[in-house]
Amino acid sequence: MSAPAPLVDQFQRRITYLRLSVTDRCDLRCTYCMPERMTFLPKKEVLTLDEMHDMALGFIKRGITKLRLTGGEPLVRRDMIELVRALGRRIRADDGNGVLEELTLTTNGTRLSQFAEDLSAAGVRRINVSLDTLDRAAFARLTRTDALPSVLEGIAAAQAAGLKVKINVVALKSVNEHEIPDIIAWAHGQGCEVTLIEVMPLGEIEEDRLDHYLPLSGVEQALRQRWTLTPSGHRTGGPARYWDVPETGGRLGLITPLTNNFCEGCNRIRVTATGQLYACLGGNEQVDLRAALRSDHPHEALDEALDTAMRIKPARHHFAIDARGAAPALARHMSTTGG
């Protein structure tokens, strides 16, 4: 039998990275991400963990080598650790069904103290933790939850369990703008890499994101007043550009979807908790994998759906936050698509 065809899109980009949202639910309510009274999906619409597992195996067969579990908050889904354990068994298990090189996770960190050891034992080696401020009151305002101490405990627990932690920071004008250098210095001091992210126009929230949109080009210039930023040879095939900071000994990534388009080398696709595959974070091109998984011939249907996804993946996204009205925000939230 011939090997299953790899996932290559119409622009000859090889797709090797899947971000899978295991739930749209979250225990925080970050103001830039979702409204305070967010409507979550009815549970019956969400894929079961078994369905997610089968689907992930189908992706791995087709050449997905990196799998990131995200959400919503992945660690609020009950029994989620069982999925991590099952997928962890696929890491470098070369039995002709594809090889998973890396299983990772993006989390807000609130439940990490509880799960860090289990994640590490399941084969997770690196995680991303989102942390936009180190000021407890500012954290409580930004996330509408007083949870900074649990997040910091979670990060410490993850490191104690041997996980490498990267800190993701969404740069927000007049919210954490002034604090960004301190967050970087703190994170590098803890041995954590930092990635700064521009806020993206995804889903309705109470406020106008334009009010807090902070172009990273300006942040980069400000950081250069304080530190040397040396271009780093580090590459992930992802959207970040990396810099080494000799003064702190750490690495800094900048993700600039608005000021600097990163689509040319895109190697990723995303699947929501209901099994909708989005070919691009910034577009509406989608394929229904849940229908495929629940059909009479799920394996064949999943393969066909993945082939369709390769045909419809667009060349690039068309986010524009400062052209008010020119490119409306996508209706779905980052927590739905999976960040």
**Residue 76 found at the interface with ligand SF4 (CB under 6 A):** no
**Residue 150 found at the interface with ligand SF4 (CB under 6 A):** no
**Residue 26 found at the interface with ligand SF4 (CB under 6 A):** yes
DSSP string for residues in 133-156 = -S-HHHHHHHHSS--HHHHHHHHH
Stretch of 103-111, 117-125, 210-218, 288-296 lying at the interface with ligand SAM (CB under 6 A): 103-111
Q: What is the dihedral of CA 177, 195, 257, 260, to 10 degrees?
A: 90
| Contact between 63 and 6 (Cβ < 8 Å) | yes
Burial class (CB in 10 A: 0-12, 13-18, 19+), 265: exposed
| Contact between 183 and 194 (Cβ < 8 Å) | yes
CB closer to ligand SAM out of 150 and 301: 150
Tokens of 182: 């301190």
- Which helix (H) or strand (E) element contains residue 58? helix 49-61
Stretch of 21-29, 212-220, 247-255, 274-282 lying at the interface with ligand SF4 (CB under 6 A): 21-29
Q: In what order do the strands lie in the sheet with 268-271?
A: 230-231, 241-245, 250-255, 193-198, 164-171, 126-130, 102-107, 66-71, 17-23, 268-271, 276-278, 286-288
| Contact between 104 and 165 (Cβ < 8 Å) | no
Q: Is 309 helix (H, G, I), strand (E, B) or coil?
A: helix
Judged by beta carbon distances under 5 to 8 A according to partner kind, the member of ligand SAM, ligand SF4, none in contact with residue 29 is ligand SF4
CB closer to ligand SAM out of 18 and 26: 26
Question: Can you tell me the distance from the alpha carbon of 161 to that of 156, in angstroms, rounded to the nearest whole number?
Answer: 9
Q: Which of residues 107-126 bind ligand SF4 (CB under 6 A)?
A: 108
**Residue 72 found at the interface with ligand SF4 (CB under 6 A):** yes
- Residue whose C-alpha is closest to residue 324's, from 177, 206, 209: 209
Residue 59 CA: distances (Å) to CA of 6, 104, 288, 309: 9, 15, 14, 12
**Residue 33 found at the interface with ligand SF4 (CB under 6 A):** yes
Closest contact distance (angstroms) between CB of 103 and ligand SAM is 15
Closest contact distance (angstroms) between CB of 111 and ligand SF4 is 11
Stretch of 70-78, 178-186, 203-211, 258-266 lying at the interface with ligand SF4 (CB under 6 A): 70-78
Among 7, 15, 34, 252, binds ligand SF4 (CB under 6 A): 34
Map residues 320-339 to x or -, x wherever contact with ligand SAM holds by CB under 6 A: --------------xx---x
Judged by beta carbon distances under 5 to 8 A according to partner kind, the member of ligand SAM, ligand SF4, none in contact with residue 46 is none
User: What does the binding site for ligand SAM look like in residue numbers (CB under 6 A)?
Assistant: 26, 32-33, 70-73, 106-108, 130, 168, 170, 197, 199-200, 202, 334-335, 339
User: What does the binding site for ligand SF4 look like in residue numbers (CB under 6 A)?
Assistant: 26, 28-30, 33-34, 71-73, 108, 130, 335
